Amino acid sequence: MKPIDQAWVCHIEVTNVCGRGCVYCSRFDRHIRADQRTHMTLDQIEKALQSLDGWPNQIGIMGGEPTLHPQFEEICHMLRRYNDKSKYGLWTAGGSRYDKYKHLIDDTFGFLAYNEHTEAQQTVCRHQAITMGIDHVVPDEEYRGRLIDDCWVQKTWCPSIGAKGAFFCEVAYALDTILDGPGGYPVEPGWWKKAPAAFADQVARYCGNCGMAIPLPQEVINTTKEKISRGNLELFRAHNLPRLSKNDVVVVDGEFTVKELECNRGGWDPGNYRQDITG
C-alpha cells in the first residue's frame, strides 16, 4: 500500500444522503439504514479543512450527493475562505439542487466529477462487486493479503474524512458507517501523514469485508440483484441493514482458487467503470 499523502485527492464526505441507490455503490447506498444517514456539521467540515493544512494535493467534496446537504451554499463559501478553487473538486450526480447552485459550483470548484447515473449509463457501466467480502471467498490467506496490499482502490482512489472521523480509504469509511464501527482517526492536523504501517488497524478492520481487490468480472449496474458473499449477508443482517431479501441479492457460497483469480486478471480493469465514455 502507499502512504496516504500520495493520494491525488482527499475527500470530505459532507453527507451520505443520496437519491440513487445504485447497485454496487462504493458507499453501499442501498444498505444504509435510515438512522445511519447523516450530514457533516459545518464545524466538522471546517475541522476537516483545517486538518488538511499543508495537504499537497486536491480536496474533493463527496457524498452521497453533496448538493443535498442542507447547508451546501455555506459549505461552498467556507471552502473559498481556505483555498483557491483550483484546490477543490466536486463529485456529483447532478439533479435539481446541482442546477440551483450551478453558478456557485462554477465559482468554487476547479474540477468536476459529474456522473448522472442515467438509465442509459446503467445498461453499459460496470461496477466491481463490492459486497463480495474477500475474507469469505478467497481462502488462500497469503494470496488474499497480497490482493489487499495491491488494491486498486487504495492506489488510485482516496482517503476520506467524514462525520465519523478520518480513514485511509473511502470504502473503509463506508464500511465503518454501515457496520456501526468505532469511527476513524481523530480529524487533526497531519493525520494524513500516516505511513502504511500506521493504518494497519483500519486495514484489518475493514478490508476483509470488501470485494474491490478481488479479480472478478465487473457487473452491469442495471442488474436488480447484487452478488454478496455469505459472510457479508450474515454480517449485514446482524446490523439490520436494508435490501437483503432474495429480490435484492444473490448469495455466493463458493470460494475462488488462486488459479481462477489469476486467470481473471487478464483484461480486468476495475477502475474503468464508465463504459459510456472513452479516455
pLDDT at 141 > cutoff 90: yes
User: H helices within 72-158, ranges in order?
Assistant: 72-82, 96-100, 102-108, 119-122, 134-137, 141-149, 152-156
* Residue 229 · residue 236 · CB < 8 Å: no
pLDDT at 39 over 60: yes
Residue partners of 153: CB distance under 8 A and separation at least 6: 169, 170, 171, 212, 213
Q: How does the average pLDDT of the chain come out, rounded?
A: 96
Report which of 154, 208, 156 is spatially closest to residue 181, judged by C-alpha positions: 208
What mean pLDDT do residues 119-147 have? Answer: 95
Task: Please classify residue 258 by burial: count the beta carbons closer than 10 Å to its beta carbon, then call 0-12 exposed, 13-18 middle and 19+ buried.
Answer: middle
| For range 130-153, the mean pLDDT | 98
Mean pLDDT of 203-218: 97
Rounded average pLDDT over 193-201: 96
Mean pLDDT of 165-175: 98
pLDDT, position 275:
87
3-state DSSP assignment of residue 113: strand
The pLDDT value given to residue 279: 54
Q: When comparing pLDDT for 265 and 279, which is higher?
A: 265
Q: What stretch of H or E contains 251?
A: strand 249-252
| H or E stretch at 205 | helix 200-206
Question: Contact, 262 vs 143, CB < 8 A?
Answer: no
Determine the average pLDDT of the residues in 46-54.
98
pLDDT range class, residue 258, cuts 50, 70, 90: very high
Residue type (1 letter), 127: H
Tell me if residue 169 falls in helix, strand or coil. Answer: coil
Can you tell me the mean pLDDT for 138-159? 97
Q: Which whole number is the average pLDDT over 201-228?
A: 95
Mean pLDDT of 244-252: 97
Position 278 pLDDT exceeds 80? no
Return the closest-CA partner of residue 20 out of 91, 112, 107, 108: 91
Whole-number Cα distances in Å, 146 to 111, 138, 178, 258, 264? 33, 11, 26, 11, 16
Cell for 155?
492506489
Domains, the chain, in order of start with CATH, read 4-122 (3.20.20.70)
Instruction: Quick: pLDDT tens for 91-123.
Output: 999 999 999 999 999 999 999 999 998 888 989
Beta-strand ranges (E) seen in 18-174 are 58-62, 88-92, 111-114, 126-127, 160-162, 165-167
Q: What percent of the chain has pLDDT over 90?
A: 91
Phi-psi region for residue 267, left (φ > 0), alpha (ψ -120 to 50) or beta?
Answer: left
